[in-house]
């Protein structure tokens, strides 16, 4: 890979985004308020890479709805999917999965489910695999059809805990099995050690950097603790507030705090940063 000193011209922008509570509103899952910035990003030819806890079937529907064609990261970094439009990219460690080349960073779902079932004998936890489509729909606000897609797991298991004070003990038990627990906007998530949004973002950035001679300048959006690795992996991190206006406790160099929750805050932060970049005021991390 060429180093920055060898690259010529300004680096090209690559955008990563969480979905729930970030690009999508927490309550109604709408992205409409972000339409202006999304159009701007599309017009400028900037790849927008979804990086979410959602499953591949869920992301496929959202990409189609928004009109995205770039690669995407599912289940908190469990898998990176490059569509056919990126066939000229050199993607090491990938396997063909349907219409994609996939880099599987996580471990198979069957192993995750086995742990959750065993842990449930000691801790009052319920994973998506324990829930009906109707229960997932009720807990998430998704339609039954959408909830069925949310249950189509490949790398991770979202779950709820009856007693939050049991979390440290559950985390210790998971670590002994080579697994980790993280917290998202609505659920806890159980996954393998290699399953990490930050690692997936770094991998995608490195792949683009090999292809783009100018180099990559990355921007990322997130709102919850399981987005922290994503935000730490990009040059320009953007933290979205929750619906009550409060922010997660995160302090990063160059961190931008969006002014509003959900898609409205996403839109305003993206528009402002891109405008500043084109005016020559590049925002990035300083160390």
Is-contact 80 71, C-beta < 8 A?
Answer: yes
SS3 129: helix
Q: Is 4 part of the annotated catalytic residue set? A: no
- CA distances (Å), origin 157, targets 59, 162, 270: 16, 16, 31
Catalytic residue among 18, 20, 196, 227: 18
b/e 270-284 (16+ beta carbons within 10 angstroms → b) = bebbbeebeeeeebe
Beta 188-192 vs 179-183: how paired, if at all? antiparallel
* Chain centroid offset of residue 220 CA: 9
Beta strands in 76-215 (DSSP E): 79-83, 95-97, 100-104, 125-127, 157-161, 179-183, 188-192
Q: Residues with catalytic annotation?
A: 18
């Amino acid at each position: 890979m060429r180093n920055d000193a060898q690259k010529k011209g300004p680096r090209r922008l690559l955008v990563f985004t969480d979905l729930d509570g970030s690009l999508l509103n927490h309550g109604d899952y709408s992205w409409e308020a972000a339409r202006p910035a999304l159009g701007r990003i599309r017009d400028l030819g900037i790849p927008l890479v979804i990086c979410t806890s959602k499953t591949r079937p869920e992301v496929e529907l959202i990409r189609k709805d928004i009109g995205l064609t770039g690669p995407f990261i599912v289940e908190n970094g469990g898998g990176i999917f490059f569509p056919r439009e990126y066939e000229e990219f050199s993607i090491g460690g990938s396997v063909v999965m349907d219409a994609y080349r996939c880099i599987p960073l996580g471990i198979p779902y069957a192993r995750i489910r086995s742990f959750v079932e065993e842990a449930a004998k000691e801790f009052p936890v319920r994973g998506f695999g324990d829930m009906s489509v109707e229960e997932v729909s009720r807990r998430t606000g998704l339609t039954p059809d959408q909830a069925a897609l949310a249950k189509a797991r490949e790398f991770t298991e979202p779950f709820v805990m009856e007693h939050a004070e049991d979390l440290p003990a559950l985390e210790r038990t998971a670590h002994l099995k080579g697994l980790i627990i993280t917290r998202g906007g609505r659920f806890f998530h159980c996954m393998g050690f290699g399953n990490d949004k930050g690692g997936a973002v770094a991998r995608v950035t490195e792949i683009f950097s090999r292809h783009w001679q100018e180099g990559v300048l990355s921007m990322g959006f997130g709102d919850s603790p399981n987005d922290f690795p994503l935000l730490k992996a990009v040059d320009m991190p953007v933290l979205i507030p929750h619906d009550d206006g409060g922010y997660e406790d995160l302090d990063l160099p160059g961190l931008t705090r969006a002014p509003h929750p959900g898609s409205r805050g996403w839109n305003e932060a993206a528009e402002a940063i891109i405008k500043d970049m084109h005016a020559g005021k590049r925002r990035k991390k300083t160390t």
